[in-house]
Amino acid sequence: MQLKYFQAAARIEHMTKAAQSLHISQPALSKMITALEAELGAKLFDRNHKTIRLNEQGRLFLQKIDLALQAIEDGIRQLQDGNGTAVAAIALDVRVSSHLLPALLAEYCKQWPDTQFHLIQHVPQYESTPSFDLCLSDGANPPAGTESYSLLREKIVVAVPAAHRLASSDLISLRELQDENFICLPPGKALREMTDAFCRLAGFAPRIRFESDDPATVRGLIRVGQGVAFLPSITWGGSTGPDVVTIPLEESFCERAISLYWPKDRYLTQAAAQFRDFAISYFAALADSYAYSSDK
């Protein structure tokens, strides 16, 4: 217990917030950390009034504690998995393809209705290495310490209002968009960083009118003529509608990869492995369906 308290304080580097995450009082946590330091004969934090910062000794100790606590957790999970007492629960970190998530989970739960999912979609900044069983992410930003399987590659297209001057185009170049107003994801989002880079390669910076990561909001703003947007052709493909037209881009580099990741050195439960295999098949069928419809 004492080591888990240290781990939380070390990751968050804020006693009050760490105490809240552990559901204990801040004085109790401070007392626990002080007792641990006395037992070890070493200071783990640098303190300045009410702030704490993990020092070099603390960082080295945290690395070992992370490994030790993870090994204990994996051992418990593996034993419960083997004797049939484990709950079919999956921690799924969703960094891309959230538009497809409801359909994917609904299809899976038709066959395995008792599975519990913990969806991780807004990871706090202090959790640099969040705990998950599986992670959906783009290939440009893989989680550290993982193995992966490439699910699909998809083109990035531009979405414009149906009445837009470019709406009847079969193919357009990035430079044709340099005077447009853009509706973009917020800074820091992988797709935003990628499309900003596309524009830089074409010699311009996008003129941003709105920032939103909600597909319905983006679709609505495009529909009422407030700008154009870059969208992934498959994973956001169903989020346009009759008043929005998507047009392929001339540049061949305008694409992204979607992959499924899982921790390399951790035990993967039977439930997580089963969902991994299901997701691989689901995305393969989706890619085949998209390729078929595009060829027609």
Task: Return the structure tokens found at 260.
Answer: 């499924």
Secondary structure of residue 32 in the 3-state scheme: helix
pLDDT-derived band of residue 128, with 50, 70 and 90 as boundaries? Answer: very low
Rg (CA), the chain: 23
Rounded Cα distance between 176 and 193, Å, is 20
Given a contact cutoff of 8 angstroms between Cβ atoms, the answer to whether 222 and 159 are in contact is: yes
Give the burial class of 244: count Cβ atoms within 10 A of its Cβ; 0-12 exposed, 13-18 middle, 19 or more buried.
buried
Given a contact cutoff of 8 angstroms between Cβ atoms, the answer to whether 272 and 153 are in contact is: no
Residue closest to 94 by CA, chosen among 286, 260, 271, 217: 260
Residue 143 has pLDDT above 60, yes or no: yes
Residue closest to 104 by CA, chosen among 275, 287, 289: 275
User: In this structure, how many other beta carbons lie within 10 angstroms of the beta carbon of residue 40?
Assistant: 12
Residue type, position 15, single letter = M
What digits encode the pLDDT tens for the residues 49-104? 767 899 999 999 998 888 887 777 777 777 777 676 556 789 999 988 888 889 99
Rounded Cα distance between 142 and 90, Å, is 19
DSSP H or E run through 89: strand 89-94
Residue closest to 188 by CA, chosen among 131, 243, 123, 105: 123
What digits encode the pLDDT tens for the residues 167-185? 999 999 999 999 999 999 8
Residue 130 has pLDDT above 60, yes or no: no
pLDDT at 207: 95
Rounded Cα distance between 262 and 149, Å, is 9
Tokens 């305008």 correspond to 254
Q: What is the model's pTM?
A: 0.69
Rounded Cα distance between 76 and 22, Å, is 21
What digits encode the pLDDT tens for the residues 6-62? 888 888 888 888 888 888 998 899 898 999 999 999 999 998 876 789 999 999 999
